[in-house]
Amino acid sequence: MTTNPPIPRRAGAGEPTLVAAVQASYVLLDREACVDKAAALIAQAAQRGARIVVLPEAFIPGAPVWIDSRPIWDGDADWYALLVEQAVVVPGPVTVRLGAAARAAGAYVVIGVQERDPHGSTLYNTTLYFGPDGRLLAKHRKLMPTGSERSVWGQGDGSTLPVLDTPFGRLSGLTCWENYMPLARFYLYAQGVDLWAAPTLARGDGWLATMRHIAREGRCYVVGVNPCVRADQLPADLPHRDRLWPGVLDPTDCEWVEPGNSVIVAPDGSILAGPARHEETILLAEMDLRQVHAARRMFDASGHYHRPDIFRLAVDIAPRPPFTRTETAPAEPVPLAVLPH
């Protein structure tokens, strides 16, 4: 592991802080158990000094693993119906509990959930951001579900691409393969992201290269966080459990539904913590905003190394609800003509 030399501090510089990547198992399709576990993990990370805590993609109520283990729409009706029942309404009781956990920890918390609208059955792969005061600061719905994910998740829109100010730097990020979308990355770079949260299910060394590339390209800290779930941790009472995970995604690693792959990367692309695989663990690394600023003297993707006279990016940040309501005022009655006598 390589580290950058310390940079002398002057008044006004943001304080360094510890960032945590929480790699853990979810309790598949059990929302309340997942919330309980998330709250306990947030507390554990805070006890170890973390002021920013990032948890995996779709941690509540767990990832729809059947989309990778079964043919699409082949015997998945019971699983999907249960997933809709266990999905998270935002805001709602789950966000209240997660906010309370963030407040008790005194930490910023980033966590992935499967979201549904209060009266809807379409689900969204959503990342929630909480402040240390417990407030739900923002949410991000994944813009483009990947491959078989499109049989489960809808598409987000440009209204949920938040960039948040914290005392330690600006916080944002993208979800899993969204991180391969160069225009989405640039849009966030242009808003000065200092800490990039990347909750994910992606496995393998190729994903680690992606995390390191984003750190070097954005000159920011990157926290990539995966779940880590063994096949024997799938709840015994799940419908059709014997068909849920036959271990076909990776026959050489069939014991693991989610093997992990979490990592924390510095703005120069060096790995500060991880990669962690095949274990539940909390990775910690120090984030120092001065290192971000120093790295951008050499390359700033949306600043001195950008050519806005040649390249332009237009971003539609308007929400796209399923309908818009319009009301037309009733027309004034037209008086009958007064006929002459």
Residue 49 lies in a domain: yes
Q: Write out the residue range of the structural domain in which residue 268 sits.
A: 17-295
Average pLDDT over residues 2-16: 57
Average pLDDT over residues 140-155: 95
Residue 310 lies in a domain: no
Residue 56 lies in a domain: yes
CATH number for 250: 3.60.110.10
Q: Are 18 and 49 in contact (CB under 8 A)?
A: yes
Residue 329 lies in a domain: no
Residue 9 lies in a domain: no
Partnered with residue 88 across adjacent β-strands are 115
**Statement: residue 11 has pLDDT above 50:** no
What pLDDT, on the 0 to 100 scale, is given for residue 215?
A: 98
- Angle between helix 182-189 and 205-218 (nearest 10): 40
Residue 69 lies in a domain: yes
Q: What is the pLDDT of residues 66-84, one digit of tens each?
A: 998 888 888 899 999 999 9
pTM of the full predicted structure? 0.90
Residue 266 lies in a domain: yes
Residue 57 lies in a domain: yes
Burial class of residue 127, CB neighbours in 10 A (0-12, 13-18, 19+): buried
Q: Per mean pLDDT, which range of 195-199, 286-290, 336-340 is the poorest?
A: 336-340
Residues marked active site are found at 57, 142, 176
Number of structural domains found in the chain: 1
